[in-house]
Amino acid sequence: MVSENPIKGELKMATIIDGKSLAKKTRENLKIECDKLKLEGITPKLAVIMVGDNPASKVYVRNKSRACSDVGIEYKEYLLPEETTQEELINLIKNLNQDKEINGILLQSPLPRHLDINEAFKAITYMKDVDGFTPSSVGKLCIGEDTFISCTPYGVMKMFEEYNIDLTGKDVVILGRSNIVGKPLIQCCLQKNATVTVCHSKTKNLEEHTKRADIVISAIGQSNFVKADMIKDGAVVIDVGINRDENGKLTGDVDFEGVEKKVSYITPVPGGVGPMTIAMLMNNVIKATKEQQKEKSML
Ligand code: NAP
């Protein structure tokens, strides 16, 4: 269906934002940067910590290791048993903080219930915080300083950039307020001069917010939650969700087939935000490596 695009001010068909291609292009550019570092004798290295035996985490970790090998980043996995204590986890993080061979540390979530993930994130040194989850990274993002931006929100912002979607003055409605997606997205969108509304499970009349939004970003984790009648004609819809529907099929939060017919831009699942998240992790590992080298050269 043809819809009016308020972002571009013209009539057009919905554009499917191709996260897979953009991620590939991003990884290719990062490979060039990584090769340059290698010529200087520096090989970026990412440490990934996984605790327990979560099947979804295993898939995410495998995808991250593949992306590292594409870009030329070395990858080391630390697989800890389910019964790992908080102290053991923090000790490993402290050792990795000190390890000169390691440039980035990623702690795969979720952790087993007896472990406190925020305490563990706090233990990661800022210089190796490639996921952007430490209080230092989050604080810097809030005051608009250069920092490690959480990979999923960063990937979403790169999509806006690539597709020339200007956020200035736009009403952006974010569904979900998690520390890893919703909250950093607030800051990212504010920095691009959007007017931001955040909805969550206690929001009343959520549809009233989404219906007036120029841009809806959904990160709630429920299959087909966002339906066509919740979205205004010509809006931009970004689907962060990764879920399984009742038939076990991978879905986002958005009823893609219904919503696609009335919007100007939309991301698919799979092939949308997911690949960009991993590409931005690679970006952050290269950034961390370069910053650590700069710091060393200043000593
Ligand atoms: P989360 O920590 O579970 O947070 C979900 C958020 O959604 C919470 O703020 C929750 O509200 C809100 N919510 C849940 N049900 C709602 C409802 N019916 N109406 C309104 N708000 C509702 O999840 P997350 O880690 O942010 O992940 C969200 C989704 O994104 C998941 O599907 C996850 O798999 C996916 N994800 C994808 C990527 C990617 O790379 N594409 C990366 C990370 C996450 P309350 O705060 O009130 O509980």
Within a domain: 143: no
Q: In terms of C-beta density within 10 A (0-12 exposed, 13-18 middle, 19 or more buried), how is residue 107 classed? A: buried
Catalytic position from the list 45, 70, 108, 262: 108
pLDDT over 50 (residue 232): yes
Task: Give the distance, in angstroms, between the CA of residue 85 and the centroid of all CA atoms in the same chain.
Answer: 28
Of 78, 107, 126, the residue that ends a domain is 126
Same domain, 51 and 115: yes
User: Is the C-beta atom of 182 inside 6 A of ligand 1?
Assistant: yes
Torsion of CA 202, 117, 51, 250, to 10 degrees: 30
Task: Tell me how many domains the chain contains.
Answer: 2
Tell me what pLDDT residue 10 has.
Answer: 53
- CA 127/CA 190 separation, integer angstroms: 25
Instruction: Please report, for the domain that includes residue 12, its CATH number.
Output: 3.40.50.720
Same domain, 6 and 48: no
The closest-lying atom of ligand 1 relative to the alpha carbon of residue 175 is 21
3-state SS class at 217: strand
Same domain, 98 and 8: no
3-state SS class at 78: strand
pTM of the predicted protein model? 0.95
Annotated active-site residue 36? The verdict is no
Q: Is pLDDT larger for residue 113 or for residue 9?
A: 113
Residue 176 alpha carbon to ligand 1 centre in Å: 5
Annotated active-site residue 131? The verdict is yes
pLDDT over 80 (residue 3): no
Q: What is the mean pLDDT of residues 1-15?
A: 60
Same domain, 106 and 180: no
When the pLDDT of each residue in the chain is averaged and rounded to a whole number, the result is 95
Tell me what pLDDT residue 1 has.
Answer: 42
Tell me what pLDDT residue 8 has.
Answer: 52
pLDDT over 50 (residue 229): yes
Same domain, 109 and 56: yes
Substitution site in 200, 280, 283 for ligand 1 pocket (most atoms within 8 Å of beta carbon): 200
Within a domain: 104: yes
Instruction: Please report, for the domain that includes residue 64, its CATH number.
Output: 3.40.50.10860
Of 103, 126, 149, the residue that ends a domain is 126
Tell me what pLDDT residue 2 has.
Answer: 45
Domain extent at residue 119:
42-126
For the stretch 147-188, pLDDT in tens is 999 999 999 999 999 999 999 999 999 999 999 999 999 999
Pick left, alpha or beta for residue 41 (phi over 0 → left; psi -120 to 50 → alpha; otherwise beta): left
3-state SS class at 173: strand
Within a domain: 138: no
User: Is the C-beta atom of 177 inside 6 A of ligand 1?
Assistant: yes
Within a domain: 135: no
Of 97, 126, 155, the residue that ends a domain is 126
Annotated active-site residue 108? The verdict is yes
Tell me what pLDDT residue 9 has.
Answer: 53
Within a domain: 147: no
Same domain, 167 and 262: yes
> What residue's CA is closest to ligand 1, atom 24?
178
Same domain, 13 and 46: no
> What residue's CA is closest to ligand 1, atom 30?
241
Within a domain: 32: no
Within a domain: 48: yes
- CA 184/CA 181 separation, integer angstroms: 6
Catalytic position from the list 64, 158, 262, 287: 64
Within a domain: 58: yes
Tell me what pLDDT residue 13 has.
Answer: 85
pLDDT over 90 (residue 31): yes
